[in-house]
Amino acid sequence: MEPKSIIHLDMDAFYAAVEVLDEPELKGKPVIVGGNHPRGVVSTCSYEARKFGVHSAMPSVTAARLCPQAVFRPVRMGRYKEMSDRIFDIFRRFTPLVEPLSLDEAFLDVTASIRLFGHPPQIAADIKRLVRSETGLTVSAGVAPSKLVAKIASDLHKPDGLTVVPPDRVREFLDPLPIGRLWGVGKVSQRALAVLGVETIGDLHRLPPDLLRRKFGESGVSLHRLAQGLDDRPVEPTRDAKSIGAEETYLEDIRSLEPARRELLALTLRAARRLRRHGFVCRTVTLKVKYHDFKQITRAETLGRPTDDTRRLYAAVVALLAKTDVGRRPVRLLGVSFSGLGLPDENRQPSLFDEEEKSGKLRELDRALDRISDKYGSRAVIPATLLEDDS
């Protein structure tokens, strides 16, 4: 079979680049997009700000300390969504096989586009040129025979990069890279692999697959395949997303309430982050629980008004938890999902309802978070820290 041609595209410093576009005086300056208040978090920042060590998901106070001259701008989701639509229109001129990963990131399968539009590296260069001339923004591209390699490639020469990995160069390309670049290899797996002396992707694929199977089961085997660049997942164009969520099956059953809450906080953070990265708010929150006997239940709550706020979403999850047997029956899987997706209404005036929420529900949530942090350490309650560990 002919190898596929996949392009991964990822806008450079997306929200910050849009702010600079709309306010050209900001060009060349360290720009941070995010909440500039004591509990604010950095959504993203310009490459000038990154030189000071500022990055996404960092508390804004830390960012301001690292880079006191930075200019803060609030998140304007509606505007980013508008630019995202224009960028995706450009992508779709080259193939209908466009799979969005977030507002600023997509996979394209251009295998069948070659006769019409030329070779994939040419297509990627054309897309970059059109994005720049039609929107004024820059995008980095990776061209490769698989999603895995295309995504790693697009990140390698950011910003404004174009990295091409031909089919016969995949191994050569992957081998020297640190294993953290592989999908699904988070900090925990990195530590486990370091014990085996594995630091690069090359180290990993040189290990005998049997050893990996013994140590890590089936996931060890698929890791070994990934390390060779073997990834045949197809590009899946949208179907409009109906829900966004996160779930996890636990190796050991969860038997009491507090660890369940902690897991649910981590799942809520992960799912809420995805929600925001797609530019959505949601109306309905669903909690899924699978007990040790495989009996599965879901509990759902419809919110007074749509939100993407982690604290409100987590409050709904905690309320739903009370309608389950978690804590009384062992649990093997927990899941959180958000549906009734829509775009935020940015013109909405703050209402009395908000005030009520601030005083009542959210205070209760703070206490819940405090209890968790008493038991598990402050790490559990700093969203920024957990968000960084998004493996």
State the minimum distance, in angstroms, from the CB of residue 131 to Mg ion. 12
Stretch that binds ligand TTP, among 6-14, 197-205, 241-249, 348-356 (CB under 6 A): 6-14
- Smallest Cα–Cα separation from 238: which of 344, 112, 121, 96? 96
What 3-state DSSP class applies to 308?
Answer: coil
- Smallest Cα–Cα separation from 106: which of 240, 10, 5, 6? 10
Cβ distance to Mg ion smaller for residue 10 or 308: 10
Stretch that binds ligand TTP, among 11-19, 91-99, 328-336, 347-355 (CB under 6 A): 11-19
Stretch that binds Mg ion, among 4-12, 143-151, 162-170, 303-311 (CB under 5 A): 4-12
Q: Does 113 bind ligand TTP (CB under 6 A)?
A: no
What are residue 22's phi and psi, to 5 degrees?
Answer: -80, -15
Q: If contact means CB under 5 to 8 A according to the sort of partner, which of ligand TTP, Mg ion, none does residue 137 touch?
A: none
Stretch that binds Mg ion, among 104-112, 209-217, 280-288, 357-365 (CB under 5 A): 104-112
**What amino acid occupies position 327?**
G
* CA 349 – CA 352 distance, rounded (Å): 10
β-strand pairing of 243-254 with 31-34: unpaired
CB 230 within 8 A of CB 167: no
Q: Does 276 bind ligand TTP (CB under 6 A)?
A: yes
Question: Would you call 105 a catalytic residue per the annotation?
Answer: yes
What secondary structure letter does DSSP report for 152?
H
Q: Does 19 bind ligand TTP (CB under 6 A)?
A: no
- Residue 10-29 contact track with Mg ion, rule CB under 5 A, x = bound: xx--x---------------
State the minimum distance, in angstroms, from the CB of residue 91 to ligand TTP. 15
State the minimum distance, in angstroms, from the CB of residue 198 to ligand TTP. 26
CB 24 within 8 A of CB 42: no
Partners of 32 in beta bridges: 45, 72
Q: Does 182 bind Mg ion (CB under 5 A)?
A: no
- Side-chain-side CA neighbours of 136 within 13 Å: the count stands at 11
- Smallest Cα–Cα separation from 155: which of 167, 141, 138, 136? 141
Q: Does 223 bind Mg ion (CB under 5 A)?
A: no
Q: If contact means CB under 5 to 8 A according to the sort of partner, which of ligand TTP, Mg ion, none does residue 291 touch?
A: none
State the minimum distance, in angstroms, from the CB of residue 175 to Mg ion. 26
* CA 166 – CA 120 distance, rounded (Å): 10
Q: How many residues bind ligand TTP (CB under 6 A)?
A: 18
For residue 384, give the H/E element and its range. Answer: helix 383-388
State the minimum distance, in angstroms, from the CB of residue 57 to ligand TTP. 4
Q: Check 19, 48, 99, 105 and give the catalytic one.
A: 105
State the minimum distance, in angstroms, from the CB of residue 28 to ligand TTP. 16
Subset of residues 39 to 58 that bind ligand TTP, contact rule: CB under 6 A: 43-44, 56-57
Q: Please, what is the Cα angle at 124 between 182 and 78, to 5 degrees?
A: 80
What 3-state DSSP class applies to 224?
Answer: helix
Q: From residue 98, how far is each of 95, 131, 227 by CA, in Å?
A: 7, 16, 25
Q: Does 159 bind ligand TTP (CB under 6 A)?
A: yes
Q: If contact means CB under 5 to 8 A according to the sort of partner, which of ligand TTP, Mg ion, none does residue 19 touch?
A: none
Q: If contact means CB under 5 to 8 A according to the sort of partner, which of Mg ion, ligand TTP, none does residue 15 touch?
A: ligand TTP
What are the residue ranges of helices labelled H in 142-254?
Answer: 147-156, 170-174, 187-195, 201-206, 209-216, 218-227
Where in the sequence numbering do the catalytic residues fall?
105
Catalog residues that contact Mg ion under the rule CB under 5 A.
10-11, 14, 104
